[in-house]
Structure 1
Amino acid sequence: MIRQGLLGQLITDLCALPGVGPKSAQRMAFYLLQRDRDGAMRLAETLLSASKKIAYCEQCRTLTEDKLCRLCADKSRDSSMVCVVESPADVWAVEQAATFKGVYFVLHGHLSPLDGIGPEEIGLNLLENRLAAGDVGEIILATNSTVEGEATAHLIAEMAKKYQVKATRIAHGVPMGGELEYIDSGTLSHAFNGRRQV
C-alpha cells in the first residue's frame, strides 16, 4: 500500500475521523485534490479557524465561539428548565426536534469509574453550583440509555433532590413507526415501565 508523502499523511489524518476508514479517507482525499481544490482550501481554513476560536460556553459547556452560546444568550428560553446531555452533538439532536425551549448542561461524557471518570471530570460540581443558586426548577435527564448513562442520571437526580429541584428522565422505548416484533427486550421493557395514560 502506498502511504507516503503529503497524500499519505492526508489519508492517515482523515482516518482519525469517527466512522472513516482507509478507503473512505482515500476517496475523500482524491476527491478534494482532483475535483474540489477550492473546497479543500475552504475546509482547511474553516478547520483551522474553528480549532482556534471554538471553546466551551461558560454556562452550558456546549461548543461556541462566544462566551455564551446562542441558546444561553437567548432571553426567550426558559432558563429554569435545564436539559442535561452527554455531548454537544446531543444538544443539536434535541434542538432539531424543535420542542424543547429550555437551556442545556453538557457533561462531555458520563460516569465511568473504571476509566477514572468521576463527578468532577464531567462537571457535576458546576451543575451543582447552578442547582444551589436556586434558579433551576426542573432538570431533564437526557443521558444515553446505557449503564453509565443511567448511573449518571441517577446521581444527578439525587443531587437535584438535595436542592428540591424536580428531576425528570426522558422516555425510552418504542420508536415512532417501530414494530414490536423487531424491538429488543430491553427497549420494550423500558417502554412498558414508562407507559402513560391516554
Structure 2
Amino acid sequence: MSDVGLLYVGGVLFLNSIMLLGRVEGKSAGIFNLFVGVLQVITPLYLIFQAKGDTAAILGASGIFLFGFTYLYVGITNLCKLDTTGVGWYSLWVAILAIGYSLVNFMYFGDIKFGIIWLMWSFLWTLFFILLGLKRDIGRYTGFVTLIQSWITATVPAFLSLVGVWQGISLVWVWLVTLVAVVAFVYLYGASKKSQVTDKVTM
C-alpha cells in the first residue's frame, strides 16, 4: 500500500471510530468512506497496470482492494441506510485473507512490522463481522479498538514512512507498541462487559 493511501486509511478509521462511539452521524462519515474507498480502488488498479507481470507488486496491490471495497461498502451502506449484514460477512472474508497477507509478510517478504499490522487488521475486521454481521452489542468496544488502530497501524506508520524514518524504527518498539495495544484491547473488552452488566442492573 502506498504511504499516502495508508495515511488516509488512518483518517477513515479514525472517523469511523468516532462514528461508532456516537460522535459522528453515519451519513456524514459515509461520505468520507466513499472518498477513501475510491482512492483505494483506483490506486491498486494503477499499480497492477504498471506491474508488468511482477507477482510481488500485484500481490501488494491486491491487498489495497480489501480496504477500498470495505470503505465503499460502508459508505454506501451508511448513506442509503442499508442493513449492515452484507458489510459484516464481507468483513469475515477479509479478516481471513488478512491472516494470509500477514503470513506472506512474515515468511516471504521478511517484513515483521507489516506482518504484525496485518494481524491487527484481521482482528479489527473480525470485530466488524461480529458487530455488523452477527449484530452483537460491541459497538463501543469496536469503536475504541478502531480508534487505537487508526493511529498505530496506519497514521503513524504512514507518516513515519513519508518522512523516511519508518525503516529505521527498531522492531523492539514495534513489539512494545503491539504488546501495549493488546493489553489495552483486553482491558477495554473487560471494561465494556462490566459496563453492559451495570446497564442491565440499572434498567
* TM-score strictly above 0.5: no
Which structure has more strand as a fraction of its residues?
Answer: 1
Q: Which has the higher contact order (CA 8 A, sep 6+)?
A: 2
- TM-score, length basis structure 1: 0.26
Which structure has more helix as a fraction of its residues?
Answer: 2
- TM-score, length basis structure 2: 0.25
Larger Rg belongs to:
1
